[in-house]
Amino acid sequence: MGIETSCDETAAAVVSGGSIVRSSVVASQAAVHHPYGGVVPELASRKHLEAISQVVFEAIDRSGMQSSQIDAVAVTQGPGLIGALLVGFSFAKAYAYALGIPCVGVNHLEGHIHSVFLDAVFPDFPFVALLVSGGHTGIYHVTSHTGCELMGQTRDDAAGEAFDKVAKMLGLGYPGGVEIEAISRTGNPLRIQFPRPYLDKADSDFSFSGLKSAVRRYVETHDFKENIPDIVAGFQEAVADVLTFKLTQAALSRQCGRIAVVGGVAANSRLREKVMASAAEKELSVFIPSLAFCGDNAAMIAAAGYHNLRAGHVCSLTDDVYSKVMTLQHP
Ligand code: KG4
Ligand code: ZN
């Protein structure tokens, strides 16, 4: 059983063997946070509390299994919003205790990386993974289910955060990435050239705050309301170019023939297209989860938890959640 409540999705899933999804239930709070242009932490905690029991029991029902057949509970321990994490984590500890089974705390980023194992075709180790979500943007050299090395990460905004902030700037709703992708379809991505912040071309670090400022400057100096489709298409094109370039370059630098893209922004079809085109050109195999497993979900947490449990990582009733981890790096 996987449980996820780190941000604005209350999710539960039943997964066998770390990869076969028996059920996956995601209750999104997007409509609750939409008017505010971002997640309101207190509202998120309250909504998780209202939804958690129903979501967990629905996941069990849909899996066709009984509670007594659940071997372990895996739950997101961090990083994320503390109040939101506490709801899932406390529920999971109590649920595992009541059933007399182990509870495994999972790092949310490790969960996202495990989303590539939920589809029928998944990568062998090692592979190079681009993790692009609302809270994190980084490139990892993944060597085993419990081993990875951080190659580079954003020095400021995460890619998803940049999508959300640009959307808010233009008066579009939350989550920004979804709105920007939809509106971009009617825009010309080449009319407004926004900067491609590659930083030092040789490393795998990112920076999106300059790009976000460039959009802000454009908005402040133009009659932007007429141009929203071209602005967002140009912005999306710049983000996708940088992410694709850095991912491909990271794989080549490690002479690694397999790449993956995970996290909420991996749902972006322009990014998917660009990564696939670049991989074809460089003869790399690409692994991108199906849309249901790009954004926050509990199946990926169950998958990561399965391997953590096998490695003996079990949490105790006194363990607590954590809000921040700057790196995800195992020996
Ligand atoms: O992984 P995720 O669900 O939650 C975090 O762990 O942060 O990612 C959420 C982020 C949001 O910033 C959202 O705007 C972005 O993913 N996102 C997208 C798309 N769908 C969600 N960004 C670009 N294009 C999309 N289609
Ligand atoms: Zn996430």
DSSP strand pairing (137-144 vs 2-4):
unpaired
At residue 64's C-alpha, the angle toward residues 62 and 69, to 5°, is 120
**Ligand 1 touching residue 133 (CB < 6 A):** yes
User: DSSP per residue over 113-162, as a string?
Assistant: HHGGGGSSS-PPSSEEEEEE-SS-EEEEEEEETTEEEEEEEBSS--HHHH
The model's pTM is 0.96
- Residue 30 C-alpha to ligand 2 middle, in angstroms? 14
Nearest CA-CA partner of 129 in 153, 113, 145? 113
- pLDDT for 52: 98
- Per run of 10 residues, the mean pLDDT along the chain (length 331 residues) is 97 98 97 89 97 98 97 97 98 98 97 97 98 96 96 95 95 92 97 89 91 96 93 98 97 98 98 98 98 98 98 94 70 37
Reduce the DSSP state of residue 225 to 3 states and report it: helix
Angle between helices 228-253 and 159-169 (to 10 degrees): 170
Reduce the DSSP state of residue 27 to 3 states and report it: strand
Ligand 1 atom with least separation from CA of 112: 1
Report the Cα 167 to chain-centroid distance in Å.
Answer: 18
Neighbour tally for 311: CB within 10 Å:
14
- Residue 319 C-alpha to ligand 2 middle, in angstroms? 21
**Ligand 1 touching residue 80 (CB < 6 A):** no
Between CA 166 and CA 26 the distance in angstroms is: 26
Q: Residue holding tokens 């071997």?
A: 71
**Ligand 1 touching residue 268 (CB < 6 A):** yes
Return the best residue to mutate from 108, 265, 270 for the ligand 1 pocket (most ligand atoms within 8 A of CB): 265
**Ligand 1 touching residue 135 (CB < 6 A):** yes
Q: Whose CA is nearest to atom 26 of ligand 1?
A: 268
Q: Whose CA is nearest to atom 14 of ligand 1?
A: 177
Return the best residue to mutate from 133, 161, 232 for the ligand 1 pocket (most ligand atoms within 8 A of CB): 133
Nearest CA-CA partner of 278 in 234, 246, 236? 246
Written as six digits, the tokens of 41 are: 């932490």
Reduce the DSSP state of residue 260 to 3 states and report it: strand
Written as six digits, the tokens of 98 are: 């009541």
- pLDDT for 330: 46
**Ligand 1 touching residue 138 (CB < 6 A):** no
- Residue 2 is classified by DSSP as E
Q: Whose CA is nearest to atom 23 of ligand 1?
A: 177
